[in-house]
Structure 1
Amino acid sequence: MGCSTRVASSSAGSGSTVLQNSGSEEDLRVLIEQRKRKRMISNRESAGRSRMRKQNHLDDLAAHAAQLQAGNHRLASAIDMATRYYLAVKTQNSILKDQMDELCHRLRSLDEIIASCGINSDPSACPLTFDGFLMNP
């Protein structure tokens, strides 16, 4: 787009020429300025939408992180409870094994006593049970 100028002669007829801006050049400048303003406004709105999307994304990520942390806390608590239960069962199992070893030792001792006395080792012939109570009163 070229600038257009017109040559006007003075009314006095001196022959001097004056360069003047045409109306279309001024209109072009106004149009360019309007387009710049519209583009600036559009860019600002677009940047605002972009910031809003970014903020929403950050909020979503923060909420997701909070959910994951809560899940981690629940899992850590469940693991802690399971570990405590495991240790309690393991302790109880150890106690029961010790009791079983002691009872097996007692049973072997009783079997040795019975064998050394020459008494019939048939369990049905003995009226006593393992824990000392009578089976057949």
Structure 2
Amino acid sequence: MASSSGTSSGSSQLQNSGSEEDLQALMDQRKRKRMISNRESARRSRMRKQKHLDDLVAQVAQLRKENQQIIQSVTITTQHYTNIETENSILRAQASELSHRLQALNDIINFLNANTGVFGAAGVGDSSTFSTEPIDSFMNPWSLSYLNQPIMATADILNQY
């Protein structure tokens, strides 16, 4: 009986050791699958990371290009602004000069009207020297009434043109 129980315990050990080997093989197989899965996951992660890096590099290139275009646009706009500002300064100076000339001409007209009577006034001096006949307006254009009016203009009006 001892031999039979020994035999049966021997076959049990064989079954246990076979089971343990199967279990170990199954665990090894699962371990390999997990390792392969982890490697694949790491490969996908590296690929995503590389794609993200490539996207960022492309975005940097695009932003640099846009930045250059903006800088060029600002430079051109600044040049236009400088040119227009220069032109405006010249026009202001011209308007000021024209305004001064206009004022001088108005002063001359006012002086002539007030002091000498050339513009529409009767002759000054002795009646024997000057004729008392009315001055013919066709012969004397200075006697026209519209010329007796001062020229009305300001620098503001000239700035419009």
The answer, yes or no, to whether TM exceeds 0.5 is yes
Find 1:36's aligned residue among 31, 52, 65.
31
For residue 123 of structure 1, report the CA deviation from its aligned partner: 9.0
Find 1:75's aligned residue among 67, 70, 77.
70
Q: Which runs of 5+ in 2 are unaligned?
A: 1-7, 114-118, 121-141, 149-161
Match of 1:65 in 2: 60
CA 123–56 in structure 1, closer or farther in 2 if over 3 Å, else same: farther
- For 1:22 and 1:85, how far apart are their aligned partners in 2? 93
Bigger Rg, which one: 2
Percent identity between the two aligned chains: 51
For residue 8 of structure 1, report the CA deviation from its aligned partner: 3.0
**Superposition RMSD in Å:** 2.5
Find 2:17's aligned residue among 17, 22, 30.
22
Structure with more of its chain in strand, by fraction: 1
- For 1:43 and 1:91, how far apart are their aligned partners in 2? 71
Amino acid aligned to 1:26: E
- For 1:124 and 1:40, how far apart are their aligned partners in 2? 108
1:92-107 matched pairs, under 5 angstroms: 92-107=87-102
Normalising by structure 2, we get a TM-score of: 0.62
How many residue pairs are counted as aligned between the two chains? 112
Amino acid aligned to 2:10: A
- For 2:79 and 2:68, how far apart are their aligned partners in 1? 16
Normalising by structure 1, we get a TM-score of: 0.72
Q: Which runs of 5+ in 1 are unaligned?
A: 1-5, 10-18, 127-137
Structure with more of its chain in helix, by fraction: 2
Match of 1:111 in 2: 106
For residue 113 of structure 1, report the CA deviation from its aligned partner: 1.1
SS of alignment partner, residue 64 of structure 1 = helix
SS of alignment partner, residue 84 of structure 1 = helix
Amino acid aligned to 1:68: L
SS of alignment partner, residue 10 of structure 2 = strand
State which drifts further: 78-87 or 116-125.
116-125
